[in-house]
Chains A and B, each alone.
Chain A
């Protein structure tokens, strides 16, 4: 895949998270993967079509998902990863994808995004591509969120 297509997603994460009450994220590791993703507990998948096709997955532990949901809801305690917390995570994924889409448009790529798909379950195998793809480990105030990006230009 084209490494240039990765930056719009990282930039979106860096730009959106501080706007909704998180500390500025830092990029930890970037690595190429050709095996399936193993779910850390909460996996959100967003699909892209039009001039770029593929999937992007946000993978995090349930505790991290609860922390993210709580922060988004102005620090409201989130004891269970319940419907409201799930809705917050989907909303966040929507914001991140929409922001990424805007960044891609600036590169001249028109894209359309699917609704986010949230799956709960630890250790599940998640396949998003037949070929290699990139995973970026982001740190969010001591909490880790993996962004797996398997996208390609659609010629």
Chain B
């Protein structure tokens, strides 16, 4: 997690909006160092306070948020800006990206959404692993927990760990779902041979299942859990457009998955019939 306070400047013409945002951030390691009500004041305070990150409203009395961002970025090309506005459409995002705005949120924003966006933008302060864990992996862990409960009525508390081994070794089944969008990557839903049998029996409420039915059940579970994970990520980050590819399912003993150039995490959901796991990896450089 954050060690050092990250300095934030809020640019918004509404006193109420500024107060709400400041209130959100007061619960976190972000420190509001400046608040500006218009573009001119934003530029002046940016020079004076050198914030790590700027939140930008679209409607300002003397210039719009995009123009204000353009001016700030002209003065400091490294400036990190997140736009928080009532309106949020493709045109606005396209114009915003052109001037270097890094993230877009729609009012009202939740504390989580604002923190996630700010953390994502200030990677110089927060390590990539921490950022991915906070922003994405926790969401997938929650989807794993919910999915398992909905499908087999078992309560689990998934454990998240940064997975830095060279290989993922599986004896049983590994359902691989590609992630496209930003960041791209892949998620692997996997379990041992015995666990997959017991899992599918519970899921389909049947004792007599063929190998194909067992495989299909696990594949469907993976599809549901990953699908929810991606939807939930997209709910928080409106501009990520994360999508899942159709699943590819590998069965057998001695499955070894190599993940060069991926930052990966292992989610383990322990049950009384074995661990149900997800290994989620994100491409470096996204």
Chain A residues close to B by CB (< 8 Å): 36, 39, 43, 45-50, 53-55, 57, 83, 86-87, 90, 112-115, 117-121, 123-129, 150
Contacts and interface: CB of A to CB of B under 8 A. Distances in A.
Given A112-B181, A114-B184, A115-B283, A55 B243 contact: no
A125 B174 CA distance: 10
Contacts of B181: 112
B180 A112 contact: yes
B226 to A, nearest CB: 11
B245 A127 contact: no
Given A54-B245, A123-B252, A124-B251, A115 B185 contact: yes
B260 interface: yes
Interface residues of B, number: 35
Contact of A83 (B177, B245, B257, B258): B258
B245 A53 contact: yes
Most B C-beta atoms less than 10 A away, residue of A90, A114, A118: A114
B251 A114 contact: no
B139 interface: no
A126 B248 contact: yes
Contacts of A124: 250-252, 254-255
Interface in B179-212: 179-181, 184-186, 188
B37 to A, nearest CB: 40
A45 B176 contact: yes
A120 B254 CA distance: 8
Contacts of B108: none
Contact of A118 (B185, B243, B260): B260
Contacts of B102: none
B243 A50 contact: yes
A45 B176 CA distance: 9
Nearest to A114: B178
A115 B255 contact: no
A112 B219 CA distance: 22
Given A47-B248, A54-B245, A127-B249, A120 B178 contact: no
Nearest to A54: B246
Contacts of B186: 47, 114-115, 117
B176 to A, nearest CB: 5
Nearest to B179: A114
B172 to A, nearest CB: 11
Given A117-B186, A120-B256, A121-B255, A47 B177 contact: yes
Contacts of B257: 117-120
Contacts of A49: 178, 180, 243-245
Given A50-B243, A53-B245, A125-B250, A118 B258 contact: yes
B262 interface: yes
Interface string B53-95: 0000000000000000000000000000000000000000000
Interface string B207-236: 000000001000100000000000000000
Interface in B128-174: 166-167, 174
Contacts of B100: none
A125 B180 contact: no
Contacts of B281: 115
A125 B252 contact: yes
Nearest to A55: B248
B261 interface: yes
B179 to A, nearest CB: 6
A114 B258 contact: no
Most B C-beta atoms less than 10 A away, residue of A47, A57, A115: A115
A130 to B, nearest CB: 9
17 contacts: A39-B250, A45-B176, A47-B244, A50-B180, A87-B261, A90-B258, A113-B178, A114-B185, A118-B259, A119-B258, A121-B250, A123-B252, A124-B252, A125-B250, A125-B252, A126-B248, A150-B246
